[in-house]
């Protein structure tokens, strides 16, 4: 359903992504992207969502070349991403925020999303005044609205404790499976990635260094050496 072909992005003289090939064939799976800081993970997500134009290569979704399509077009045709706070309008409640996006995108079952991310208790609070952990879950709930076929999350658990991270991934996995959404997740917490993701891609210095099941990627010599000395 998603195919990234020889994708390269440079920022001036910095080659942030260098000929990356990636394929996610199934629906309802969680696909993790890992790699040390500066590996090119966010750049890859930005190139897939259309925020960043690749200097080379192509992005295919469901057999269609979308490389030149706009961010808006991609969103309308079923690609969503998390925004990390920037999507929260000041002064409205969590409920209003969710309902606003749900009415724009035609979400048939907002209650399911609210319950899956345990947001019921936060519904009447101001969206910009809730606790950080709740905020992160609102952000992912927003990306889940409108039954996207492909969802991109860049460090959804950033700043959360290990316990909160595990809970977040549990919620995410359940909803991804139930709704048949394919989620591409960049995550710093590699233990969470190896535990919850169906497939894992590892990047280092803009290149794909390993790809496969969590078991395969975890013991890959290049992955181990990329993390040696850089593990936080």
Helix (H, G, I), strand (E, B) or coil at 32: strand
Q: Provide the sign of the torsion angle of the four alpha carbons 43, 140, 182, 209, taken in this order.
A: positive
Residue 51 in the binding site for ligand ADP (CB under 6 A): no
Instruction: Write the CA distances from 220 to 9, 32, 40, 134, 210, integer angstroms.
Output: 25, 15, 19, 35, 7
Residue 43 in the binding site for ligand ADP (CB under 6 A): yes
Determine which residue in the list 3, 5, 19, 42 makes contact with ligand ADP, applying CB under 6 A: 42
Give the nearer residue to ligand ADP in terms of CB position, either 7 or 172. 7
Q: Residue 57 touches which of Mg ion, ligand ADP, none (CB < 5 to 8 A by kind)?
A: none
H helix runs in the chain, sequence order? 41-49, 71-76, 94-105, 110-116, 132-144, 162-179, 190-196, 214-218, 221-227
Phi-psi region of 21 (alpha: psi -120 to 50; beta: other; left: phi over 0): beta
Angle subtended by helix axes 132-144 and 162-179, to nearest 10 = 10
Stretch that binds ligand ADP, among 35-43, 86-94, 108-116, 168-176 (CB under 6 A): 35-43
To ligand ADP, the closest distance from the beta carbon of 214 in angstroms equals 19
Stretch that binds Mg ion, among 35-43, 90-98, 202-210, 224-232 (CB under 5 A): 35-43
Residue 35 in the binding site for ligand ADP (CB under 6 A): yes
Residue with tokens 């879950």: 137
To ligand ADP, the closest distance from the beta carbon of 206 in angstroms equals 7
In angstroms, how far apart are the furthest CA atoms of the chain? Answer: 50
Residue 41 in the binding site for ligand ADP (CB under 6 A): yes
Task: Please state, in angstroms and rounded to a whole number, the distance separating the CA atoms of residues 185 and 81.
Answer: 10
Determine which residue in the list 3, 5, 19, 42 makes contact with Mg ion, applying CB under 5 A: 42
Q: Find how far residue 153's CA is from the centre of its chain.
A: 2
Residue 16 in the binding site for ligand ADP (CB under 6 A): yes
To ligand ADP, the closest distance from the beta carbon of 37 in angstroms equals 5
Stretch that binds ligand ADP, among 40-48, 123-131, 158-166, 175-183 (CB under 6 A): 40-48
Q: Rule CB under 6 A: which residues touch ligand ADP?
A: 11, 14, 16, 35, 37-43
Q: Rule CB under 5 A: which residues touch Mg ion?
A: 41-42
């Amino acid at each position: 359903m998603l195919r990234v072909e020889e994708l390269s992005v440079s920022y001036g003289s910095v080659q942030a992504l260098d000929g990356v090939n990636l394929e996610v064939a199934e629906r309802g799976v969680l696909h993790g992207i890992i790699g040390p800081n500066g590996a090119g993970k966010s750049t890859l997500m930005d190139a897939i969502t259309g925020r960043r134009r690749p200097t080379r290569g192509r992005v295919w979704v469901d057999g269609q070349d979308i490389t030149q399509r706009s961010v808006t077009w991609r969103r309308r045709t079923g690609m969503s991403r998390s925004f990390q706070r920037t999507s929260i309008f000041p002064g409205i409640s969590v409920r209003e925020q969710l309902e606003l996006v749900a009415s724009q995108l035609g979400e048939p079952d907002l209650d399911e999303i609210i319950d899956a991310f345990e947001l019921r208790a936060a519904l009447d609070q101001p969206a910009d005044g809730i606790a950080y952990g709740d905020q992160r879950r609102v952000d992912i709930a927003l990306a889940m609205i409108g039954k996207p076929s492909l969802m991109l999350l860049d460090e959804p658990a950033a700043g959360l404790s290990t316990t909160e991270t595990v809970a977040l991934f549990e919620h995410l996995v359940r909803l991804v499976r139930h709704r048949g959404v394919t989620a591409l997740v960049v995550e710093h917490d590699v233990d969470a990635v190896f535990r919850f993701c169906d497939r894992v891609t590892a990047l280092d210095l803009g290149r794909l260094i390993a790809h496969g099941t969590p078991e395969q990627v975890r013991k890959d010599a290049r992955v181990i050496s990329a993390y040696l000395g850089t593990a936080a």
